[in-house]
Amino acid sequence: MPERFPGCITRVRGISAGHFTDTRRPTGCSVVIARPGAVGGVDVRGAAPGTRETDLLAPANTVSVVHAVLLSGGSAWGLDAAGGVMRWLHGQGLGLDAGSPETPARVPIVPAAVLFDLHVGADPARQPPVCPDAAAGYAACQASLERGALAEGNVGAGAGATVGKMFGMGCAMKGGIGAASVTLDGVTVGALVAVNALGDVRDAQGRLLAGARTADGAALRDTARALLAGEPPAALLAGRNTTIGVIATDAALDKAGACRLATAGHDGLARAINPVHTCADGDTLFALATGQAPAPGPGLNVLAALAAEAVARACVNAVRAAASVQAGALWLPACAQELPVAP
């Protein structure tokens, strides 16, 4: 198994991150925190997104500072975790000053995106399902205070992530969450990505790492090749997949520049995931610019190239760090199984 790419989003000045992983079933949430705040942007490319506060990040809108971004499992249920992130940030004195001397008010700005993992280890008799809530979001923030390397694979928003579902869940493999960073001329661009894609994941050399398996489960099918050969996909429901992530840099950018960075990050998704941005994915990338780098650094075109590279590396790290999971009758082998590609 090749080594994972080095680097982490927490190498970006002003950025910390933490996970909460639920022990009741594979699900969880991850948070990226910017102290004291960062200029934010977003680009939503998937056709079935689950998001919060994305309209606020449009360059034409007023508020530009973001205090954290939440990535969560649990589909739309997981958006509840953002309330816990807000509560934790408020306790830290972080947030938008929206009050006056007579009526003080502080509002933490927490955009969020969710992925669908309800089919992994869910109890049909339990309604509503086990999903990240406000307590989970708060716990992920608390975890951001811990020292040491940020965990990857089956943690946080990647706990229940899967990949390669074009031909049904029975042929899928385990996805996960991964991080990476690139530094150039004193400026760092990092990414944290939860990979829960309908499509397959490939490395920088184009080698198939994880994705749809053959009917007997013994080999990788190569989704793009199979579709071009006329193999019919399984019946798909919109929104049961989705890759979500955060790009962060310590360069100084305005909202338009941050949105451009998020857009460039989708180039990285397209390098690592195929097919990507499908009707059944809600692929969403946020961008944060802390402006804390000691030097001006490279221009926006170069930062965009670094963002795409960091995202692609984070996707590869996500599946390489993932571990196999048995969730009821569902077996989800990981990249470490090193399945051959079917001829």
Residue 3 confidence class, pLDDT cut points 50, 70, 90: low
If pLDDT is split at 50, 70 and 90, which confidence band does 148 have? confident
For residue range 329-341, what is the model confidence (pLDDT) as tens digits? 899 999 999 999 9
The whole-chain average pLDDT of the chain stands at: 95
User: Rounded mean pLDDT of 262-268?
Assistant: 98
Secondary structure (H, E, C), the chain: CCCCCCCCHHHCCCEEEEEEEECCCCEEEEEEEEEEEEEEEEEECCCCCCEECCHHHCCCCCCCEEEEEEEECCHHHHHHHHHHHHHHHHHCCCCEECCCCCCCCEECCCCEEECCCCCCCCCCCCCCCCCCCHHHHHHHHHHCCCCCCCCCECCHHHCCCEECCCCCHHHCEECEEEEEEEEECCEEEEEEEEECCCCEEECCCCCEEECCECCCCCCECCHHHHHHCCCCCCCCCCCCCCCEEEEEECCCCCHHHHHHHHHHHHHHHHHHEECCCCCCCCCEEEEEECCCCCCCCCCHHHHHHHHHHHHHHHHHHHHHHCCCEEECCEEECCHHHCCCECC
- Over range 256-276, report the average pLDDT: 98
- 9-335: CATH number: 3.60.70.12
pLDDT at 282 over 60: yes
**For the chain, what are the domain ranges?**
9-335
279-285 mean pLDDT:
95
User: What pLDDT is stored for residue 197 in this prediction?
Assistant: 97
The predicted-structure confidence for 75-86, as pLDDT tens digits, reads as follows 999 999 999 999
pLDDT bin (cut points 50, 70, 90) of residue 145 is very high
pLDDT in tens, 223-239: 999 999 999 999 877 77
Task: Determine the pLDDT at residue 297.
Answer: 85
What percentage of the chain carries pLDDT values higher than 70? 99
Confidence of residue 147 (pLDDT cuts 50, 70, 90): confident
